[in-house]
Structure 1
Amino acid sequence: MSETTNYNPTPTIDVGGKPFIYDAKGNLVPLSAVKPMDLLQDEMVRKVIGYARELSAQIARFKGHTFDDVGSLQALIAQDYGATLGGKKGNVSLTSFDGTQRVTVQVADLLEFGPELQAAKSLVDACLAEWSEGSRDEIRAIVTRAFNVDKEGQINRAELFMLLRVSIEDERWQNAMQAIRDSIRIIGSKTYVRFHERDSADGAWRAITIDLAAA
């Protein structure tokens, strides 16, 4: 890592010719009264944050350049061949000539669920109440997970969509599934770009991770 990072040392305030620093409560504390370990921790945190700022800015620039490059290629193909590169939503997968490197752009819808979801839950609960104990345990588990709100108040979307694939003839169940579909609102979209490589054209793809948690 380059040593030209945007690292800022602990800011000090001159009071009567002596250096003071602010604590977490906004109080001025004489630098000489701060424990050496606390100063060492402060220096380490500021140094790492400096690197993190640089890396974040670099990734943002890289992301922008990647979208520009993909967009330019799409525009060129549209101009020269009158054809659109990619799907209707903007999804596109581009592979190197030797088949060992791939760039994928994916556009995912941002969803929220309307009040119809509560009606769906009531209908599903009515079905579950009439089913004999022990029957369709797998479906019961999916229902529990689908409507279980997480810490951030979000519905488990993956389990909810799995519920839509369950085929049950009960009219209330069918109405519940329709209510779920009617509750879905598309409120926007988010574009992702992913990178993969492999050793040969028939080898297994490996993700090139940029996510810090997965690196």
Structure 2
Amino acid sequence: MAKLDEKGWWIKKNGESVHPERVKIEDKLKDEMIDSILGKAAGVTEVIKKFKEDAYDEVDSYFELLLDKYGVETKKGVKGFTLENFSGTAKIQVATADNIIFDEKLQIAKKKIDEYLHEITQDSNPDIQQLISKAFEVDKKGEVNPRKILALRSYDITHPKWLEAMAIIAESVEIVASKQYIRFYTRENQRENYKQVSLDIAGV
């Protein structure tokens, strides 16, 4: 329903108040339709929220049984796991994604990398130099991409300054938040690829 002022008049987008009798019938019908659909959407959201909570509870209960069986007291440190059914036609994946930022030591690491690049300029691959430089590019918010920064550690480089820079990067990592995800997959048989069960209205 459109917002109303203290007199019960309909408030337009520009803030102007309009007497109910002067509101077009199609606008009233449109508002009723939108309210109806959004009301149903809110109900669906609650159903999905409850389903998600129940799914986590059931998976956690099963995992607790495994911990108990093997004498492990806690699942602390477990970032993710996959549960697959007996026939290999359905699976559930639970994963944890960390929201990572870097403290001021990242700039020190960048200086070390610059020193390394300066030392080996003549012998280095220009493509590698470009990849390293791109890793430190910032977005519109002035933030680097953690995935690109952490990917630098996978490079097979043994130069002392590079290794020192990688160690500093590891020290600069700060995990500010973690979010857990649960995803569902099915397939008809093991010869097919798994397809994710979509809980996103756009993907249905």
The structure 1 segments of at least 4 consecutive aligned residues displaced by more than 6 Å after TM superposition are: none
Write the mapping of 1:186-201 to structure 2, written as runs, cut at 5 A: 186-201=175-190
What letter is aligned with 2:129? R
Q: Report the equivalent of 2:51.
A: 62
Write the mapping of 1:1-215 to structure 2, written as runs, cut at 5 A: 9-10=1-2, 12=4, 15=7, 20-24=9-13, 26-34=15-23, 38-39=27-28, 42-79=31-68, 81-83=69-71, 88-89=77-78, 91-129=80-118, 132=121, 135-215=124-204
1:173 partner SS: helix
Provide closer, same or farther for how the CA distance between residues 14 and 107 of structure 1 changes in structure 2, counting only shifts above 3 A. Answer: closer
Task: Tell whether the 8 Å contact from 1:142 to 1:159 is kept in structure 2 after alignment.
Answer: no
Question: Residues 162-198 of structure 1: CA distance to partner in whole angstroms, max 9, x if unpaired?
Answer: 2111133433322222211110123342211011111
What letter is aligned with 2:85? S
Alpha-carbon distance in 2 for matches of 1:140, 1:40: 61
Alpha-carbon distance in 2 for matches of 1:51, 1:153: 40
Where in structure 2 are there 5+ consecutive unaligned residues? Answer: none
Alpha-carbon distance in 2 for matches of 1:184, 1:51: 43
Seq. identity, %: 29
What letter is aligned with 1:55? V
Report the TM-score when normalising by structure 2. 0.80
Task: Tell whether the 8 Å contact from 2:113 to 2:165 is kept in structure 1 after alignment.
Answer: yes
Cα RMSD for the two superposed structures: 3.1
Give the drift of 1:147.
1.2
Where in structure 1 are there 5+ consecutive unaligned residues? Answer: 1-8
Question: Residues 131-163 of structure 1: CA distance to partner in whole angstroms, max 9, x if unpaired?
Answer: 548952322232233211223443212211221
Farther off after superposition, 155-164 or 190-199: 155-164
Give the drift of 1:56.
2.0
Give the drift of 1:41.
5.0
Task: Tell whether the 8 Å contact from 2:98 to 2:178 is kept in structure 1 after alignment.
Answer: yes
Farther off after superposition, 45-54 or 170-179: 45-54
Farther off after superposition, 182-191 or 113-122: 182-191
Give the drift of 1:68.
0.8
The alignment of Structure 1 onto Structure 2 pairs a total of residues equal to: 203
Report the TM-score when normalising by structure 1. 0.76
Alpha-carbon distance in 2 for matches of 1:83, 1:166: 38
Alpha-carbon distance in 2 for matches of 1:40, 1:141: 57
Farther off after superposition, 192-201 or 162-171: 162-171
